[in-house]
Amino acid sequence: MIRDITIGQYYPAKSVLHRLDPRVKLVSTLLYLISLFLFKSIPGYIMATLFLFGVIRVSKVPFKHIVKGLRAVVMLLMITVIFNLFLTRDGAVLFHKWIFTITEGGLRTAVYMTIRLIYLIIGSSLMTFTTTPNELTDGIEKLLYPLNKLHVPVHEVAMMMSIALRFIPILLEETDKIMKAQIARGADLESGNMIQRAKSMIPILVPLFVSAFRRANDLAMAMEARCYRGGEGRTKMNPLHYKTRDRIAYIVVIVYVIGVFFVGRYVPLGIWIF
């Protein structure tokens, strides 16, 4: 399961989406996430779906690769489905047994919430697929730069984020290795109830933390050796400047958001939910 988490994993390809300014992608992702909650009807969903698929096509990231990232959040999706399905009481009762009741409204909410969540995750992972973490943090750094005047250490936070992202796959691999090593020594990670299983994680977490600290130490030294001294006086390999394609992308996204808002609200087609 560990290797299936694809969030934070850059997928190298040559597409317009890859070349866009990270600030555009950040703002657009945020707008897209908000847009998912702006409509309540089927036309809205159709529009959001079309837009998402359009973006996926443009991104040149294989669909399979994107779906793989969803596997990690199956649990979260299940919980959402179950809660919405059984706890929403709205409309005609479709199924009733003992304490379980499924209503028409509940079913609809469950389905729509699941779709929203999936779109939410795909939308945000599309950003991370097409943007290298460094670009991403560059974008965040530049977007949040005004906060620097309020003595918020924007550069430092951005640097920490990009390093954290870089080390996620390494630490995951390490976890895997430690797990295998402990299993080889007779550690039982599979059986027992939740508490016992949580306890059996300790012999994995302790060495993992030790190694993470050691790595952090090494990396800090390597960074210093390469003359890293904070954000001041640093130039950028990829300085951020908006280009025509970035402006076009902003317009496309804003048009989509406005469109989805009006279509979702005023096109009298299909079922209304909530």
Residue 3 sits in the site that holds another protein (CB under 8 A) = no
> Contact with another protein (CB under 8 A): which of 40, 65, 68, 166?
166
Pick between residue 99 and residue 237 the one whose CB is nearest to another protein: 237
Say if CB 60 and CB 13 are below 8 A apart. Answer: yes
The yes or no reply on residue 223 touching another protein (CB under 8 A) is yes
Q: Which is nearer to another protein, 95 or 228 (CB)?
A: 228
Q: Taking CB under 8 A as the rule, does residue 165 contact another protein?
A: yes
Which CB atom, from 59 or from 103, has the smaller least distance to another protein? 59
129 close to 66: Cβ distance less than 8 angstroms? yes
Residue 8 Cβ vs another protein, minimum distance, rounded to whole Å: 9
> For another protein, what does the binding mask look like between residues 90 and 129, x meaning CB under 8 A?
----------------------------------------
Q: Measured between alpha carbons, how far is 68 from 208 in angstroms, rounded to an integer?
A: 26
Q: To which H or E segment does residue 244 belong?
A: helix 244-266
To another protein, the closest distance from the beta carbon of 171 in angstroms equals 10
Question: C-alpha distances in angstroms, 153 versus 41, 116, 230, 246?
Answer: 43, 34, 10, 27
Using an 8 Å Cβ cutoff, are 22 and 139 in contact? yes
**Rounded to a whole number, what is the largest CA-CA distance in the chain?**
69
Single out the segment in contact with another protein by CB under 8 A; choices: 19-27, 30-38, 75-83, 222-230.
222-230
Closest CA to 58 of 109, 28, 86, 18: 18
Residue 200: φ, ψ to 5°: -70, -5
Segment interacting with another protein (CB under 8 A) among 42-50, 78-86, 117-125, 229-237: 229-237
Q: Which of 58, 143, 161, 163 binds another protein (CB under 8 A)?
A: 163
Describe the crossing of helices 104-130 and 74-87 by its angle, rounded to 10 degrees.
160
**Rule CB under 8 A: is residue 134 a binding residue for another protein?**
yes
User: What is the distance between the alpha carbons of residues 235 and 158, in angstroms, rounded to a whole number?
Assistant: 15
Residue whose CB is less far from another protein, 12 or 268: 12
Which residue do the tokens 């597409």 mark?
Answer: 15
The amino acid at residue 61 is V
Spell out the residues 6+ positions from residue 98 whose beta carbon is closer than 8 angstroms to its own: none
Given the complex with another protein, which of 88 and 134 has the nearer CB atom? Answer: 134
- Contacting another protein (CB under 8 A), which of 59, 162, 253, 263? 162
Binding site for another protein (CB under 8 A): 10, 12, 132-134, 162-163, 165-166, 169-170, 215, 218-219, 221-229, 233-239
